[in-house]
Amino acid sequence: MKSLFATTHARVYGTSDAWRFSNQARAGETFQECNIQLIIEGDDESRYFLIVSPEGFFAADTWHESLDAAQDEAERVLGVTRADWTE
């Protein structure tokens, strides 16, 4: 199993149990600036999970067919590039 780690900083809208990022925010919705930990876990057989953990909010994950797809999602949503990941 492969594990990759990254951190970033972003606005998180909503509440600790019902949050979203700015591309999904509603007009006038409150937000917090948060440190965000990201983990990609998996392998080519069982596929990959991108786990997103904003500080003070519950963690969420998404499932991806490939490591590239998980990294693409992290870059699309949070601007985390391949160079930002460590093992």
- 25-67 tens-digit pLDDT: 778 888 899 999 999 999 989 999 999 999 999 999 999 999 9
Stronger pLDDT, 24 or 57, i.e. the higher one: 57
The larger pLDDT score, comparing residue 15 to residue 36, is at 36
- Number of Cβ within 10 Å of residue 4's Cβ equals 20
Express each pLDDT in 67-79 by its tens digit. Answer: 999 999 999 999 9
| Distance from the Cα of residue 55 to its chain's centroid | 12
- What count of residues does the chain have? 87
Give every strand in the sheet of 2-15, ordered side by side. Answer: 18-21, 2-15, 31-43, 47-54, 60-64
pTM over 0.85: yes
Sign for the pseudo-dihedral over CA of 5, 7, 11, 16: positive
**Distance (Å, rounded) from C-alpha 43 to C-alpha 68?**
12
